[in-house]
Structure 1
Amino acid sequence: METDMTKGSPLPIILKFTLPLFLGNIFQQLYNMVDTIIVGRFVGPGALAAVGSTGTIMFLVIGFSQGMSTGFTVLTSQRFGAGDGEGTKHSVANGTILSLFVVVFMTGISLLFMKPLLRLMNTPDDIFSDALTYISIICIGIVANVFYNLFSSFLRAVGNSRVPLYFLAFSSALNLLLNLLFVITFQWGVAGSAWATNISQAISAILCLYYIFKKAPGLAPLKHHWRLNWTDTRHQLSVGIPMALQFGITASGTMIMQSAINLFGSTAVASFTAASKFQNIAMQGMMAMGQTMATYTGQNYGKGDIKRIKKGVRLALGTEFIYAIVGSIVVCLALPHALLLFFSGDVDVSAMLPWAKTYIYLCAVFYIPLSTIFIFRNTMQGCGYGFLPMMGGVVELIARLVMAVFAIRFVSFPLSCAGDPAAWVSAALFTGIAYIIVMKKVEKKMSS
């Protein structure tokens, strides 16, 4: 099921590869939404707010780990595109070993500093205990999350976007069943929801690993591949570290934004949580196109076809613009109905709606600049350039920080919510310029 993206008409290849990624991302978001929906309906709005208040921390911890391990797979994509079978296997083994170090480091650090971090973020006292319980258990499961994303990224690097989708769909169904069992039957509260997530993702990782060794011989390392290679390590870290820092910097900005929102109480936090979870569904098409461009660019960069990379970017941008316009309309119209999923009948959803509308309406206007970030950022990373995409994260951080400072200064919920749109517009301008700079460097490198 490998796909050579260096041949044929780019748009059909891009769309065919993106669709399974899009469906997989939807399953991943439903996977995450199951926690909030079941907790919100069967434990209460306070528990939903507790889970929601940790969302930005999860993005920081899990995103940093995923960014590092996903960066390790860029080399795999490039070597596959270049037809280097032996090098492809070496990159898989080397990336797996490096990911083990990432998991040990991130698990230890996150558990050590989680409690003071929640205090620093102004987490309301009435949800603090549940928030700490939930995020601590999620951090224990970093190993499952990282290796599912690593193994599925290896498969995507060689053009296989369908198999990770199948395993994720199975795991999502399992996550739902385990949430129902642990939260409703066993009444484990937020802890049950967190353990359901960890167990389901661990099974996804095992299934992907099994498939690689049984069905994807071009990826499966042999005994002599399992050693750290300095050349591979240097290359993978040069891409993985900036990608991890980009996630970490972006997450730091969202944490600052979350800190401002936390000041408005658990009702505002619960409303914001439900709205942002719903919006994340709409964003998955943009993310999937970005993931596709990382693989597409990596393979064509390995082959040395810069013209094909540029053509693919133009086609992807046109597709993203259409998707962004449709997505913005859908989320605004569907928001009142979507909120009903997160709360039981005894909760006054009408009290939640104004908070949620403020956030969604502000964001929906800026989906087009948001969509360009995923294209430009992943294209640069597919070429092996990690610094400028990382600096795009710095731009987002600064924008969210400025908006959060004003929001806290003027005690304004709309200004708190405006942190995302401000970050998107700023990063879109930066990454667009950075993409032009990187393409000129790539052209110069390939012509020399």
Structure 2
Amino acid sequence: MKELIRPKDLTAGRPLPVLLSYSLPMFAGMFFQQAYNLADSWIAGNHIGSLSLGAVGTCYPVTVLYIAVASGLGIGTSIYCSQQFGSGGHQNVKDAVSTALLCFIPCSVFLMLLGLFACPHILTWLSVPEEALLPTRQYLFIYTAGLPFLFLYNISTGVLNGLGNSGTPLIFLIFSSFMNIILDLVLVLFIPLGISGLALATLLSQAASSLATLFAVKKLCRRLGGEEHSSFSLPILREILRLAVPSIVQHVFMSTGQLALQNIINGYGVITMTGYSIAFRINGLYVNSLMALSNALSGFIAQNKGAGKQGRIRQGYRLCLILGGCFTSAVVFLMLADGPAVLSFFVSPDPDKTEIIDAGMGFVRIVVPFYFLVCLKIVTDGALRGIGRMNAFMMSSISDVMVRLLLGDLFSRHWGINGVWWIWPAAWAVGTAVCCVSYRRADGNKAAYKMSAKKPAEKP
């Protein structure tokens, strides 16, 4: 364990092996993280009932909203730590850890209390069908209670990833994923808590992984040298927030757009809601897997920006586009060739199974062929984050969301549920165009690859 918990320099060595060794643990970690989300859906659909499966799916956009804030703060902390580590600012890294924990964990407690109070109002706004209201409320309430652990995990993982150590979070996440699945089975099959058992299993496994990751961060900080004790720094907080807020705004806007569409979809009834929730979970697995590659690219670029290696940044971007394109091709082929078999895995035999799968496949057939657009957008977003062009990154996501908000009801009224599905390709097309133009402009501007003169100075 002592040799495992150490930083890694991403500014030296051939870019492809470095990127692969750095990104594969993050990719695997995202897979395991999504695996226990899929396990929730499988257990809900096969051992509790399709109504609970629909409830879990309905909560998903709300939980993504929570994750948006937590992951945004983690990304901001990660990019700052990457840049400082790449330029040799080790004491700034240690101070950033203390600053992030002292500020963001109390924020998570406030958000938890706000979320618990707002739960009934959120479900009313989502137009959740009456028969699905109780299980949806139970799941969302317990999930919200675990927000402090979610924040702690994202911040700690952000620090480790920012210092090039993507292997340690993977180990803890694998342990957490298996723990979650085992608890799912115990709390549903042996202690019949129903959908509350699924949410409680997520809370407990998140608590375990977050505390273990925090322990790893503390050990890694001691390896950086410098002063024995780190301290709170207002300049560092401002810099972390400068990097984090655009990412938070992006994810919040995305979640808001998704919530607006969820409201429309719920109006088509429980069968459509359930079929969509299954298909959207598969969609989430793909998108979040690409996000792992994007986050790896951000860390790679941020360290190389700190070291002033512009050519290496461009190489990393091109390599990630190739890797993402290969992964996307495999996913598109699988879902279009055998999508019904994939979706049926999550639905127990019942009279509505065929209708539920048909509803999910309506989403798949329209949305999945446009995954190549998603790949280009997510990888380019990672590049923009890495070089610190957070406003451009944010604008690409806001444009995506505006399409969802403006066209959702219009498309639904004119083309029914298929019109709703077409919102995804339309939004992706606009967002991808904005982020690619922004990256091309940044790539032609040498100043974009220079470290800010406003970075906090090292302590004497």
Structure 1-normalised TM-score? 0.95
* Aligned 8 A contact 2:328 2:372 in 1: yes
Tell me the SS of whatever aligns to 2:11: coil
Q: Does 1:299 align with 2:303?
A: yes
Tell me the SS of whatever aligns to 2:222: coil
Distance 1:347 1:202, change over 3 A: farther
Mapping 1:45-194, distance limit 5 Å: 45-194=50-199
Aligned mates of 2:245, 2:284 — CA distance in 1:
25
Distance 1:102 1:422, change over 3 A: farther
The alpha carbon displacement at 1:431 in A equals 0.6
Aligned mates of 1:244, 1:7 — CA distance in 2:
31
Q: Which position in structure 2 is the counterpart of 1:236?
A: 240
Q: Quick one: which of 24, 33, 56 aligns to 2:29?
A: 24
Segments of structure 2 that go 5 or more residues without pairing to the other structure are 1-5, 454-460
Distance 1:441 1:233, change over 3 A: farther
Tell me the SS of whatever aligns to 2:128: coil
Q: Does 1:352 align with 2:352?
A: no
Q: Which position in structure 2 is the counterpart of 1:412?
A: 416
The alpha carbon displacement at 1:222 in A equals 6.7
Structure 2-normalised TM-score? 0.92
Q: Quick one: which of 320, 323, 330 aligns to 1:319?
A: 323
Mapping 1:365-376, distance limit 5 Å: 365-376=369-380
Tell me the SS of whatever aligns to 2:450: helix
* Aligned 8 A contact 1:152 1:164 in 2: yes
Q: Does 1:224 align with 2:233?
A: no
Mapping 1:336-347, distance limit 5 Å: 336-347=340-351
* Aligned 8 A contact 1:2 1:160 in 2: yes
Tell me the SS of whatever aligns to 1:225: coil
Bigger CA drift: 352-361 or 397-406? 397-406
Q: Which position in structure 2 is the counterpart of 1:272?
A: 276
Q: Does 1:37 align with 2:42?
A: yes
Distance 1:52 1:26, change over 3 A: same
User: How many residue pairs get matched?
Assistant: 447
* Aligned 8 A contact 2:72 2:248 in 1: yes
How much is the aligned-residue C-alpha RMSD, in angstroms?
2.0
Aligned mates of 2:338, 2:200 — CA distance in 1:
31
* Alignment deviations for residues 43-63 of structure 1 (CA, whole Å, 9 cap, x no partner): 111111111111111111221
Aligned mates of 2:231, 2:141 — CA distance in 1:
32
* Alignment deviations for residues 144-201 of structure 1 (CA, whole Å, 9 cap, x no partner): 1111121112111111111111111111111011111111222111111111001001
The alpha carbon displacement at 1:441 in A equals 4.2
The alpha carbon displacement at 1:242 in A equals 1.4
Q: Which position in structure 1 is the counterpart of 2:457?
A: none
The alpha carbon displacement at 1:233 in A equals 0.9
* Aligned 8 A contact 1:256 1:401 in 2: yes
Aligned mates of 1:89, 1:255 — CA distance in 2:
38
* Alignment deviations for residues 19-55 of structure 1 (CA, whole Å, 9 cap, x no partner): 1111111101111111111112111111111111111
Q: Does 1:13 align with 2:13?
A: no
Q: Give identity over the alignment, percent.
A: 26
Tell me the SS of whatever aligns to 1:384: coil
Aligned mates of 2:114, 2:226 — CA distance in 1:
30
Segments of structure 1 that go 5 or more residues without pairing to the other structure are none
Q: Does 1:389 align with 2:386?
A: no
Tell me the SS of whatever aligns to 2:12: coil
Bigger CA drift: 211-220 or 2-11? 211-220
The alpha carbon displacement at 1:277 in A equals 1.2
Q: Quick one: which of 258, 263, 274 aligns to 2:262?
A: 258
Distance 1:307 1:443, change over 3 A: farther
The alpha carbon displacement at 1:223 in A equals 6.3
Aligned mates of 2:133, 2:225 — CA distance in 1:
44
